[in-house]
Amino acid sequence: MSLSGKTALVTGGSRGIGKAIVQTLARAGAKVAFVYHSNTAAADALINELKAEGHEVVGYQADAASKPDADRIVEEICEKWGGIYVLVNNAGIIKDGLLATMTAENWSAVINTNLNGVFNYCQAVTRPMMSARSGRIINISSVAANFGNPGQSNYAASKGGIEGFTRCLANEVGRRGITVNAIAPGFISTDMTEAIRNAAEDTIKKQIPLRRLGNPEDIAAAVLYLASDGASYVTGNVLTVDGGLTLGAGM
């Protein structure tokens, strides 16, 4: 699944799932730009690692919730590399809490980053992709969109919104040769899930038919598939990568 000669943009790309996606796309031959929010040390380390392997990669520090930042970054990448073939919207945060005590700030922060960020970057890349009559848009959702976990109304709303958005956009741009899909990870070993894993990892594993948590590389492999020529007839779908968690086995 070579991406040689292609260009890619990944949001939330310096750590966890985003980092694995950047590494995987670069090692498949793509020129990769990624957006990160604040961890400059992690971003620089990733850039240095991939450049040492001979890959072309660049990082942009920005807030995924900022529309001006998204427009600027996409414009700069298009000027630098002539366009963007793959967009992966991975930037996301959690601010869990029961709705009765959730602050408006925590609600808005999650919606602005997780859902509005997808809008920002999809809108920014749509025009150059439509002009090129090709492109792959991949939005990272979550099984939480359908689980209804207590304390995650903001997170579940943002991820459910991503899935509906994905289907609508796929319908709008398919005639221009652009595919739009989402990936819904289950429990993945990242910094974001550390607190949950520390509290209940053994219990979680018993609910997963494969009896293990996912790795960021599991999600990156799914991204690579959807970005490849092998998925050229796949659009408007949500690919669940959860080790079978949503089958309900062991629950």
36 has catalytic annotation: no
- Continuous H helices in 67-193: 67-81, 104-110, 117-132, 144-147, 153-173
| In contact, 155 and 106? CB cutoff 8 Å | no
Q: Residue 34 belongs to what H/E stretch?
A: strand 31-36
Helices (runs of H) and strands (runs of E) counted in the chain: 9, 7
Question: CA-to-CA distance for 146 and 245, rounded, in angstroms?
Answer: 12
The DSSP output letter for 93 is: -
Pick the catalytic residue: 60, 121, 155, 233?
155
Question: CA-to-CA distance for 203 and 187, rounded, in angstroms?
Answer: 12
Of residues 159, 41, 151, the one with CA closest to residue 90 = 159
Q: Which residues are catalytic?
A: 155
